[in-house]
Amino acid sequence: MTDSNTPRHFLTVLDLTPEELRGLVRRATELKTAGRSGEAYEPLKNRILGMIFEKSSTRTRVSFEAGMAQFGGHAIFLSPRDTQLGRGEPIEDSARVLSRMVDCVTIRTFAQDTLERFAAFSRVPVINALTDMYHPLQLLADMQTWFEHRGDIKGKTVLWVGDGNNMCHSYINAARQFDFRLRIACPEGYDPEDSVLQRAGTRCEIIRDPMAAAEAVDLVVTDVWASMGQEEEHARREKAFAGYQVNDELMARADREALFMHCLPAHRGEEVTASVIDREDSLVWEEAGNRMHSQKALLEFLLCDPAWTISG
Helix (H) / strand (E) containing 3: none
C-beta of 59 vs 156, nearer to ligand CP: 59
Cα 165-168-169 angle, rounded to 5 deg: 85
283 contributes a contact to ligand NVA by CB under 6 A: no
263 contributes a contact to ligand NVA by CB under 6 A: yes
Residues that bind ligand CP (CB under 6 A): 57-60, 130, 138, 263-264
Compute the least distance from the CB of residue 277 to ligand NVA, in Å.
15
Backbone CA torsion sign across 246, 165, 168, 80: negative
Q: Is 135 a catalytic residue?
A: yes
Residue from 29, 144, 222, 227 that binds ligand NVA (CB under 6 A)? 227
**Size of the chain, expressed as the number of residues it contains:** 312
- Residue 23 has phi, psi (to 5 degrees) of -60, -40
C-beta of 135 vs 296, nearer to ligand NVA: 135
Question: How many other CB atoms sit within 10 Å of the CB of residue 212?
Answer: 11
Measure the CA–CA gap between 312 and 310, rounded to whole angstroms: 7
Q: Is 149 a catalytic residue?
A: no
- Output the residue with the shortest Cβ distance to ligand NVA: 227
Contact letters for ligand NVA, residues 164-183 (x by CB under 6 A): -xxx----------------
Of the residues 104, 168, 186, 263, which is catalytic? 263
Compute the least distance from the CB of residue 169 to ligand CP, in Å.
14
Cα 19-201-155 angle, rounded to 5 deg: 50
**Catalytic residue set:** 108, 135, 138, 223, 263, 291
